[in-house]
Amino acid sequence: MWAAALVAVGTLGGCDGDVFETSEGSVDDGNEAVLAGKVEEALQSYAEAVAAIPESPELNYDRGLAESLAAHHEEATQLLLKALDTRQAPLLQKVRAALGVAYSRWGVTLERTTPALKQGDDGQLALAESDEKSPQAQALDKWKLAVQHLEEALRMDPSDAASLHNLEVALLRVDPPCSSRDDSHEDNDTQASAAAIEPKAEEDPAQAQSGGTPRAPEMAKDVLKWTEQLHSCPDDADWYKIELQEGDRLSGALTVPEKPGATLALEVVGPDGQVLHPGRGADGAASTSFDLSGTPARAGTYWLRVDNVALDETSYGLEVKVRPACSAVEDRFEDNDSADAAVLLTPGPLDGLKLCPRDPDWYAVDLAEGESLFLYAQEAQGAEDEDEANAPAPGEPQVPPFVTEIHGADGALLAKGAPTGKGRVTTLLTPGPGRYLMRVLGDDGYEGRYNLNVQVVPPCPEGDDRFEDNDVAPDAVDITEAAQADQQAAAAGPGGAPAPQQPAGGGGPPTLFARVCPGDVDWFSYTEQGDKPSVVTAVFEHAKGDLALELYDEAGQTLITRADASTPEQNGEAVALPPRPEDDPATAGGATPTPAPGAGGEDAGPPPRTFKIKLSAPPDAENFYLLEVQQPSPSSGGDSQDQSDDKDKSDDEDKGDKDKDDKQQDPKDPGKDEQDKQDEQAKNEPLQDALDKLDRNPENLEAVESAKQSPLANRRPGKDW
């Protein structure tokens, strides 16, 4: 190591044999002991000398050399710093040189120090959290001080060969060559030595989110990723290679720190040596991303070349994505591409199904006399690339990218799915006994995952849902408990497949399938555990019977809000849980109330709130519906209806008129009114954003946020000092 190359001041040259600067009995004994390698004996002699003679720069210099040899780094540097208080230029130069060596030795010791570790809850050892710098960071500080003193020593005596050598050693620690920091894929400087890339399926992001709904296992195969933090040195191209199968779609991007001179270019070379994506555009600008998904790949080896355009050392992130051919990741029911190949289903939810371009999916179900059929297909939240490709244009409403149909056994079309957010709902009331076929067909060129919910229900009243009798508020059914019971009771999913580990429809927790019979009213309760905005939605086919959705307080006595604006174009209703009041710690920023014993301690969060939910229909109407509670984020899509926005606007207008009347009767300070308006707007923004995103996704905000939070962005790997 470089530490072994340090030339010790006064012992291995550089001082013309003049090791020490003080002569006195005890001092001479100490000097001789140092030269004999007996450092501790020397320190004892110096301690006796301190009591006998006055302190001087010369004595501090002698003692500092000995303390440094004894690895007493702090004592050594303090004594040598005191020795700088001399007017003798030769001694001052030697003190500077000695300080350079002392700080260097201190740096070496710190480099060899093991960081403090602690045992985590999982039993694994990890770095202990501390406000202090790491030993490596402290070592770097010492090496920088060594450089300062050695440079000053050489300024005073340019012929000091030992200090010149020691300065080179210190500079290598402060600014080591780029090759010492290069990544683990070196040497990948040529196409022949390219490092292999092996993309893998990512962990389900919903697993890490509180209340997130796990995606179907099949969806993990839709996009394979390879992401690493890497390093680029000047005049050193980095080559990577990846094996693609027929029909794979390749894309990738660099993340380069925003700093002067950090310019990299990304080039893609095909199996035949053809440049598929040049590293520079027609204007000469460097390209840092590529997307070849529009041209499915031929099977073979593809190469990626990262070129350091500015010849400046920099870290960078490289992310490579592979979307396999749609035919390679189809669902378990293929080939069900025709009515003759329709898959006979057991009623219930199905998640993670796959639509490929020009490839419909056919299913079948048997109905007995008097039974009705409910079909709901919903676009699943799948791979980021598919979500982005299928998002509507800015300002346009969300339209399901597929159609659903119900056919008779003879092929006659009996019903078509009505749109509802990102899905379609179809109800066939008592069509008669027999086998019925269901078709799901994507728009031209559409590729994506979807969830299917098929329910077969006997006629009313015996065919009413299992939640009866929940016709009054005191008998309200808890939505969360009922959804959990559904999951636990499902021993197998449709078609004999394993039971899906998520609610019906896959849109979020929790979801229930229910029914309103003529003259019937359904009551439910929902307890909100966190402080995220929540939205209650009811999805149903408007043409088969309109339903009204109402939100009440916990007692079921006070109406909070009502939604009754569904249309044939927007099939369903939605109501938002009101924001917490200003004096609630969850919104006011105060301390969280003391939780009940066993409630989770400091991180228990805000106290729960319970609401009652009422579903009703005209006296002679009956219908099926999916009741769901969502906690959408402002940057995510979902399923709801535009009429919820219309209802909010109407409520806002009514409230505005009332506020206007109040102001006429009781004039207020305009400045305070404006502040109140801003406060109210800030309070409602998260909820309004959530409702808007349920209907449409005008921008790919998820990609923007992901880019901002990417671990590859603006991050430089730690140097091995």
Q: What is the DSSP string of 688-706?
A: HHHHHHHH---S-HHHHHH
Share of the chain above pLDDT 70, in %: 70
Mean pLDDT of 1-23: 43
Q: How confident is the model at residue 634 (pLDDT cuts 50, 70, 90)?
A: low
In 272-351, which ranges are continuous DSSP H helix?
none
Beta bridge partners of 354: 449
The answer to whether residue 622 scores a pLDDT higher than 50 is yes
The answer to whether residue 443 scores a pLDDT higher than 70 is yes
Strands across the sheet containing 548-552: 477-478, 521-528, 609-616, 548-552, 559-563
3-state helix, strand, coil in the chain (%, to 5): 30, 25, 45
Mean pLDDT of 450-463: 89
Mean pLDDT of 438-456: 93
* Distance from C-alpha of 360 to C-alpha of 334, rounded to nearest angstrom: 10
* Distance from C-alpha of 207 to C-alpha of 534, rounded to nearest angstrom: 19
The pLDDT assigned to 347 comes to 93
Q: What is the DSSP string of 47-90?
A: HHHHHHS---HHHHHHHHHHHHHTT-HHHHHHHHHHHT----HH
Q: What is the DSSP string of 558-617?
A: SEEEEE----SSS-EEEEEPPPPPTTSHHHH--PPPPPPTTS-GGGG-SPPEEEEEEEE-
Residue 361 and residue 261 share a domain: no
N-terminal to C-terminal alpha carbon distance within the chain: 12
Residue 377 and residue 318 share a domain: no
The answer to whether residue 384 scores a pLDDT higher than 90 is no
In the block, which residue shows the tokens 């008779």? 408
The answer to whether residue 415 scores a pLDDT higher than 90 is yes
Largest CA distance in the chain: 118
The pLDDT assigned to 492 comes to 41
* Distance from C-alpha of 682 to C-alpha of 689, rounded to nearest angstrom: 11
The pLDDT assigned to 131 comes to 61
Residue 544 and residue 655 share a domain: yes
Residue 425 and residue 478 share a domain: yes
Q: How confident is the model at residue 100 (pLDDT cuts 50, 70, 90)?
A: very high
Q: Does residue 209 lie within any of the structural domains?
A: yes
The answer to whether residue 330 scores a pLDDT higher than 80 is yes
Q: Does residue 711 lie within any of the structural domains?
A: no
Residue 104 and residue 243 share a domain: no
Q: Does residue 714 lie within any of the structural domains?
A: no
The answer to whether residue 639 scores a pLDDT higher than 90 is no
* CA nearest neighbour of 151 among 174, 173, 168, 138: 168
Mean pLDDT of 44-50: 78
Q: In the listed set 296, 328, 360, which residue is the last one of a domain according to the structure?
A: 328
The pLDDT assigned to 676 comes to 59
With contact defined as beta carbons under 8 Å apart, do 440 and 660 qualify?
no
The pLDDT assigned to 506 comes to 39
Mean pLDDT of 388-415: 80
The answer to whether residue 194 scores a pLDDT higher than 90 is yes
Residue 366 and residue 273 share a domain: no
Q: Does residue 487 lie within any of the structural domains?
A: yes
What are the tens digits of pLDDT across the range 134-150? 888 899 999 999 999 99
The answer to whether residue 42 scores a pLDDT higher than 60 is yes
What are the tens digits of pLDDT across the range 347-365? 999 998 999 999 999 999 9
Residue 266 and residue 383 share a domain: no
Mean pLDDT of 152-179: 90
The pLDDT assigned to 124 comes to 59
Mean pLDDT of 309-337: 90
Q: In the listed set 298, 328, 358, which residue is the last one of a domain according to the structure?
A: 328
The pLDDT assigned to 273 comes to 92
Full-prediction pTM beyond 0.75? no
Q: Does residue 129 lie within any of the structural domains?
A: no
The pLDDT assigned to 207 comes to 47
Number of domains within the chain: 3
With contact defined as beta carbons under 8 Å apart, do 664 and 618 qualify?
no
Tell which wins on pLDDT, 206 or 482: 482
Residue 283 and residue 343 share a domain: no
Residue 140 and residue 204 share a domain: no
Mean pLDDT lowest among 68-72, 100-104, 236-240, 583-587: 583-587
- Phi, psi of 117, rounded to the nearest 5 degrees: -120, 155
Mean pLDDT of 384-399: 60
The pLDDT assigned to 714 comes to 37
Output the six-digit token pair for 690: 């959530």
Domain that holds residue 397: 330-593+603-670+687-703
The pLDDT assigned to 216 comes to 62
* Distance from C-alpha of 532 to C-alpha of 629, rounded to nearest angstrom: 12
C-alpha dist (Å) from residue 27 to 66, 164, 234: 11, 29, 53
What are the tens digits of pLDDT across the range 642-693? 444 444 444 444 444 444 444 444 444 555 566 555 555 544 544 344 334 3
With contact defined as beta carbons under 8 Å apart, do 182 and 189 qualify?
no
Q: How confident is the model at residue 720 (pLDDT cuts 50, 70, 90)?
A: very low
The pLDDT assigned to 575 comes to 94
The pLDDT assigned to 391 comes to 60
The answer to whether residue 107 scores a pLDDT higher than 70 is yes
Residue 334 and residue 307 share a domain: no
Mean pLDDT lowest among 39-43, 570-574, 599-603: 599-603
The pLDDT assigned to 372 comes to 93
Q: Does residue 614 lie within any of the structural domains?
A: yes
CATH at 266: 2.60.120.380
The answer to whether residue 157 scores a pLDDT higher than 60 is yes
Mean pLDDT of 704-711: 35
Q: Does residue 400 lie within any of the structural domains?
A: yes
Tell which wins on pLDDT, 537 or 465: 537
Output the six-digit token pair for 202: 């990512």
Residue 291 and residue 215 share a domain: yes
Q: How confident is the model at residue 399 (pLDDT cuts 50, 70, 90)?
A: confident
Half-sphere exposure of 571 (CA within 13 A, CB side): 28
With contact defined as beta carbons under 8 Å apart, do 165 and 210 qualify?
no
What's the mean pLDDT when you consider all of the chain?
77
The answer to whether residue 181 scores a pLDDT higher than 60 is yes
The answer to whether residue 81 scores a pLDDT higher than 50 is yes
What are the tens digits of pLDDT across the range 533-588? 889 999 999 998 899 999 999 999 999 999 998 998 889 999 999 988 765 554 44
Q: Does residue 184 lie within any of the structural domains?
A: no
CATH at 143: 1.25.40.10
Residue 382 and residue 291 share a domain: no
Q: In the listed set 282, 307, 328, which residue is the last one of a domain according to the structure?
A: 328
